[in-house]
């Protein structure tokens, strides 16, 4: 019965765009029958743009199944709207992501062990969470401290299909080194990708990054930038995903060019600047964040998932529960 209710809630989200507010009441009623969140009802955000800034994979390569077993697909729910973000599994029960992905989230459906979101995968685990910790100094007008954690409702079994990633430590700036950015982003042709992709990007200095007109005044020490390599880059939709060097996460996808031009730098939250905060959060220093305390968008325009993508999400979740 619960699986049927979940399907009906997702179906209601689709119809809401078509037939309006009456469906919202029904969807809200049904959502109370799924899994009772332990925290207050939140709101959430996903594929977001700011004044010229945002994120997703452009071009790149198709990953092999479970090549990056720490990658997490996040379906983020804000009222009657669904957004998509990425994240990384850093312990058996915690996912690292971007603050802007969940600072208005009601709840998140996290898919671990995924490769092809359009198919049924035996390796996939789907969990519902409404327990978030968002950095207390997250500032969406300055695009700083864009880091957050999601606690899963249960610990997952670590195996070849689902495993954690080590967080980078130390003072290395990684300038001029090649990194890997992951996500279910758009392809070079502008279409969305159902399979996990990755792109190799060179880390550039913050000085070079801030020299770009769109980024002037935004780049600080807690950011790390990568160059756009010709037809390669990142774009709306994979915010919160990891930037990786030698199997260690050095960044969290934060923002980039709003209209997704390849060749422009991508900007990430620098993980080494937040090791202490992350550890404190995991140790219980911070209470769960109620994202409803964040007021306004401060320049962001939110991009909801299209009707077609609603259908794909409905099919994806339906296959997990029915």
The answer to whether residues 253 and 266 touch, using CB atoms and an 8 Å cutoff, is: yes
Catalytic residue flag (residue 146)? yes
Hey, is 267 helix, strand or coil? Answer: strand
Catalytic residue flag (residue 22)? no
CA distances from 180 to 177, 243, 251 (A): 10, 6, 10
Task: Write the DSSP assignment of 122-171 as a string of letters.
Answer: TT-EEEEE-EEEE-TT-BTTTTB---EEEE-SSPPPPSSSS---EEP-SS
For residue 48, give the H/E element and its range. Answer: strand 48-49
Task: List % helix, strand, coil for the chain (3-state, nearest 5).
Answer: 20, 30, 50
Q: Considering the candidates 50, 146, 210, 238, report the single residue annotated as catalytic.
A: 146
Catalytic residue flag (residue 239)? yes
Q: Considering the candidates 88, 100, 193, 266, report the single residue annotated as catalytic.
A: 100
Q: Considering the candidates 210, 239, 254, 266, report the single residue annotated as catalytic.
A: 239
* Positions marked catalytic: 100, 146, 239
């Amino acid at each position: 019965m619960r699986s049927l209710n979940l399907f009906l809630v997702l179906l209601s989200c689709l119809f809401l765009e078509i037939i309006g507010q009456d469906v919202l009441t029904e969807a809200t009623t049904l959502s109370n029958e799924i899994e009772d969140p332990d925290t207050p009802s939140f709101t959430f955000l996903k594929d977001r743009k700011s004044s010229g800034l945002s994120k997703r994979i452009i071009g790149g390569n198709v990953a092999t199944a479970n090549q990056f077993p720490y990658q997490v697909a996040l379906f983020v729910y804000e009222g009657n709207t669904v957004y998509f973000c990425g994240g990384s599994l850093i312990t058996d029960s915690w996912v690292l992501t971007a603050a802007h992905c969940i600072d208005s989230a009601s709840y998140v459906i996290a898919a671990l062990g995924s490769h092809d979101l359009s198919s049924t995968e035996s390796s996939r685990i789907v969990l519902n969470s409404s327990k978030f910790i968002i950095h207390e100094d997250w500032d969406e007008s300055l695009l700083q401290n864009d880091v957050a954690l999601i606690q899963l409702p249960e610990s997952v079994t670590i195996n070849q299909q689902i495993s954690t990633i080590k967080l980078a430590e130390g003072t290395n700036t990684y300038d001029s080194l090649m990194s890997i950015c992951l996500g279910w982003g758009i392809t070079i042709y502008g279409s969305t990708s159902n399979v996990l992709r990755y792109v190799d990007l060179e880390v550039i200095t913050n000085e070079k990054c801030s020299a770009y007109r769109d980024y002037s005044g935004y780049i600080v020490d807690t950011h790390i930038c990568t160059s756009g390599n010709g037809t390669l880059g990142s774009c709306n939709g994979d915010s919160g995903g990891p930037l990786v060097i030698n199997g260690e996460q050095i960044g969290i996808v934060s923002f980039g060019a709003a209209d997704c031009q390849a060749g422009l730098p991508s900007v990430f939250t620098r993980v080494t600047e937040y090791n202490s905060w992350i550890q404190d959060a995991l140790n219980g220093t911070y209470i769960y964040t109620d994202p409803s305390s964040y007021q306004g968008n401060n320049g962001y325009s939110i991009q909801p998932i299209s009707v077609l993508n609603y259908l794909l999400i409905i099919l994806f979740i339906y296959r997990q529960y029915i």
